[in-house]
Structure 1
Amino acid sequence: MENSTLLKFTNGTLATIWTDYSIEYKVASILLVILICGVGIIGNVMVILVVLTTKHMRTPTNCYLVSLAVADLMVLTAAGLPNITESLFGGHWVYGYAGCLSITYLQYLGINASSCSITAFTIERYIAICHPIKAQFMCTLSRAKKIIVLVWVLTSLYCVMWFYLSDTKEEVYENAVLVTCAYKVSRNLYLPIYFTDYAVFYVIPLLLATVLYGLIARILFLNPLPSDPTESRRNWKKESSVHGNSRTSSSSTTAASRRQVTKMLAVVVILFAVLWMPYRTLVVVNSFLEKAYLDTWFLLFCRLCIYLNSAINPIIYNAMSQKFRAAFHKLCHCGPQRSEKPPTYSVALTYSVIKETSNGESPDHYTTELDDIHGAAEELLPQRKKLSFKESSLACKDTLASA
């Protein structure tokens, strides 16, 4: 198998002449790929570090976002960076036979794992908001980790076939011999695989996301208050006038927090649909054409859309999530450093669901929402005196005594 990294000239008599990419194409493709991939790699690494190093950021939803960040990193490094050498060497493959197999495998693994991660956090959001009672047991940190492991195991096994379908080939021209990373069999034999990928990792996730986010929107944006498991428990009892206003404020803050998180995740899904559409459409159209449409500039556009989809998510988190923005600033030492203090719980907040983990990890989904409520209470009610307890057991006793 040819592993040479240089073009070899020959005295063949073939009619086809090999021509290098234009200078304009090389400059545009290299600069844009370096810019997008550089920003994306830095951003996704920051997402992973923020969630792993910040205790209150370790929530089920953020675990899925870490999985998505790892998949995006895989796409940017395995698909984006080789595009630079391809432009430099005029389409010549410089990574050899082993590189062809491994890079092709990692490309499809990252692409499929990112789609599955998006589907996973969409389902998690639906259960957490539309079925809050079940969410206490289903949307937990430990279950999210198990689902992520399962996703990566299944996608890894599914993508193993690319080790057997990829190969390096020599394309002989009149003036050169070009080594490329291509497929072993003809394009027609790949149609079932392409359509399977198109259906399982693009169409089905988008249809599912459309339905589930529609149901979520009905709960969050049409109902006056969010669905909360604790509210159903206290519907039988009238709230006292002393705590009525504070509880209404807390519920409103929780609703606003859930709306913001849902909007952010919905934007991620929408961009996934839009930015993957050119490439997916091209694959489907070429499947029905006798000669595939392979315009160089349009292929570059499709590739850049894919790289942009993998690079833009951290920017969305920073723009739409106050928690991520504060965590990013803290990671970069751009904001004031505040020492972590043991959590305190005010009497007004003791009715919220609090789930502790035995291994010192962050509480689950509902616990983290107390941070938003507590922060909003400090801003909106700075003069209000609160009775705080460092131990949650004392807070519970006070609540029972006041009931």
Structure 2
Amino acid sequence: KLVIFLENLVTVASILIILTISMERFWAVYYPLRTYSQESKSKAMISMAAVWFAAGVTTSPLLLMAYTDQQFHSVDNAIVDVCITPVIHTWHKAYIIGRFVFVFAIPMFLLAILYSLIIIKVRKETMECKQMTETAKSQSQQNRKQIVAMLIGIIVLFFVCLLPFRILALLETFSRPGSVILIGPERYLNMMYFCRLLIYVNSAGNAIIYNIVSTKFRRAFHIVLRYYCCCWKKSRLLNRGTMNGTYSHGTRMTTMSHYSVVKQDNQDISDTGDAV
């Protein structure tokens, strides 16, 4: 249950985060004079908390649907424990349809609208800048092409990676009993694992697209990476210095103790000689 819940939680949260960032970009393009103060940072934190809360509420019904059952393995017919989420009751079907509408269809529609408006705004601002030099115009056109390519890539990746899993979920919901047997258990599992893999490709692909197209993202990524690398190196140096200091202190203490013992032995010998 926990694996299914966490997997779907991350998926829904990723979709909502992409939608939230897209809305933020829309406001930044159409209202560029808005200031980014400490208040806006707190709003961003509140937005992320709201996203994860909404994702948790949206995914929580899976905890009621999923249960563990003993089934025969498709290869060696061994009895294994399998966690399944069967669609039995009416509210199960309503939940699957609702997730398709509110977690895929509506976000896909909003992303297409927002990015279309952003592309129109960017193209319009570039064409209205008549006082630019030829170098500035070419640089502006190059930046515009990068932005357009990035936005189109995000929409296409979102659609291609998430649509197969949603279609598979709908087919499982409304298909006749025994359809999996007709397809074949191995082929069905391969389809399901491939569709689930595409969900993770979508989450990882956004960062790859940003890194390829956006120079600001690459610069910020390098800054963050350099910061953590420096912190890691500093911690290693501090740990090494602490170990060296402890070793040196222990060596000094051992040397001083050895010197004290030798001095005490010499003093005893001297006292014995004086007594003789």
Q: Distance in 2 between matches of 1:292 and 1:144?
A: 47
Q: Distance in 2 between matches of 1:218 and 1:115?
A: 24
1:219/1:226 contact within 8 Å kept = no
Alignment of 1:319 with 2:212, yes or no, is yes
Q: Displacement of 1:286 after TM fit?
A: 3.0
Structure 1 residues 211 and 303 mapped into 2: Cα distance closer, same or farther (>3 Å)?
same
Alignment of 1:104 with 2:4, yes or no, is yes
Q: Distance in 2 between matches of 1:117 and 1:145?
A: 12
Percent of aligned pairs sharing the same letter: 27
The amino acid across from 2:11 in the alignment is I
The amino acid across from 1:302 in the alignment is C
Q: Distance in 2 between matches of 1:135 and 1:224?
A: 23
Q: 1:169 aligns with which of 36, 55, 69?
A: 69
Q: Distance in 2 between matches of 1:262 and 1:149?
A: 30
Structure 1 residues 226 and 168 mapped into 2: Cα distance closer, same or farther (>3 Å)?
farther
Q: Distance in 1 between matches of 2:2 and 2:127?
A: 50
Aligned to 2:251: none
1:125/1:262 contact within 8 Å kept = no
Q: Distance in 2 between matches of 1:144 and 1:252?
A: 34
1:146-201 deviation digits (Å, cap 9, x = unpaired): 21111112222332222222211112589532210113762765211111111111
Aligned to 2:189: 296
1:41-86 deviation digits (Å, cap 9, x = unpaired): xxxxxxxxxxxxxxxxxxxxxxxxxxxxxxxxxxxxxxxxxxxxxx
1:282-337 deviation digits (Å, cap 9, x = unpaired): 2223333213654233223322322322222222122112133344456666xxx9
Q: Distance in 1 between matches of 2:12 and 2:176?
A: 28
Q: Distance in 2 between matches of 1:118 and 1:332?
A: 22
Q: Distance in 2 between matches of 1:286 and 1:187?
A: 14
Alignment of 1:116 with 2:16, yes or no, is yes
Q: Distance in 1 between matches of 2:142 and 2:169?
A: 41
Q: Displacement of 1:208 after TM fit?
A: 0.9
Q: Distance in 2 between matches of 1:247 and 1:144?
A: 38
Q: Distance in 2 between matches of 1:176 and 1:133?
A: 65
Structure 1 residues 219 and 144 mapped into 2: Cα distance closer, same or farther (>3 Å)?
same
1:240-274 deviation digits (Å, cap 9, x = unpaired): xxxx9799988996786576456424422320111
When Rg is computed on C-alpha atoms for both structures, the one with the higher figure is 2
Q: Distance in 2 between matches of 1:205 and 1:121?
A: 12
Q: How many residues align?
A: 218
- Aligned pairs for 1:152-301 (under 5 A) are 152-171=52-71, 175-183=77-85, 186=88, 189-224=91-126, 260-261=146-147, 263-291=149-177, 293-294=179-180, 295-301=188-194
Structure 1 residues 257 and 187 mapped into 2: Cα distance closer, same or farther (>3 Å)?
farther
Q: Displacement of 1:226 after TM fit?
A: 7.9
Any unmatched runs of 5+ in structure 1?
A: 1-100, 228-243, 338-403
- Aligned pairs for 1:22-41 (under 5 A) are none
1:166/1:182 contact within 8 Å kept = yes
Q: 1:141 aligns with which of 41, 50, 63?
A: 41
CA RMSD of aligned residues (A): 3.8
Q: Which has the higher contact order (CA 8 A, sep 6+)?
A: 1
| TM-score where L is the length of structure 1 | 0.46
Any unmatched runs of 5+ in structure 2?
A: 181-187, 231-276
The amino acid across from 2:210 in the alignment is Y
2:112/2:155 contact within 8 Å kept = no
1:260/1:321 contact within 8 Å kept = yes
1:194-252 deviation digits (Å, cap 9, x = unpaired): 1111111110011111112221121111343689xxxxxxxxxxxxxxxx979998899
